[in-house]
Amino acid sequence: MNNIAVIDYGMGNLRSVAKALEYVAQGKARVQVTSDAREVLQADRVVFPGQGAARDCMRALIESGLDLAVREAVELKPFLGICMGMQVLVESSAENNGTECLNIFPGKVSNFADVLNSPDDEVHYKIPHMGWNEVTQTRDHPLWGGIAQNSRFYFVHSYYLEPEGPDLLVGETEYGIRFTSAIARDNVFAIQCHPEKSAAAGLRLLENFTRWNGEA
């Protein structure tokens, strides 16, 4: 049976992610929430969810040794990053006065507050960006299968990812600025929104992941 590991590093909405994966897998996959690096690396697929602050996330990963498991899983098997689980894949985050991240992909995480709501702006945007918003698919990917262009997903975040180049980009969203809301390379797909809270479109993305062989 297909084994899916949901990484538990002490932060994030792990149970809701696991329940959503169990629902879409329809008994064809075993979903395990685990903080054991060995179990992560033995799984067929890995999900890295998260929420909260980048500094706390990185500290928890390093103290548990799960940072090494994440790095290895990214190299070996289908891998899905969600929310903070996407942001920490790049080099650094502006959060907490600057936080070094996993540096798996080139890029940085910036603060909406630094670019939105200047005195001259006619529209005021609430921060965090919270609620339903459209995701524009910028290129085809197996995880977009069966999901209509500009489908709405659920977001909760104050920081946004800026990849160094366009090659990682697979999804964009408009919120005062146009920001990267999904990235992919090889066997890795990561998304800023919460698919487990995103109704039919989010469940379809998770279902696609349970079947994905890691090839773009």
User: CA 31 to CA 16: how far, in whole Å?
Assistant: 12
Q: Which of 101, 141, 194, 207 is catalytic?
A: 194
For the question of residue 157 being annotated catalytic, the response is no
83 is an active site residue = yes
Q: Which of 57, 83, 101, 193 is catalytic?
A: 83
Is 196 an annotated catalytic residue?
yes
Q: What positions carry a catalytic annotation?
A: 83, 194, 196
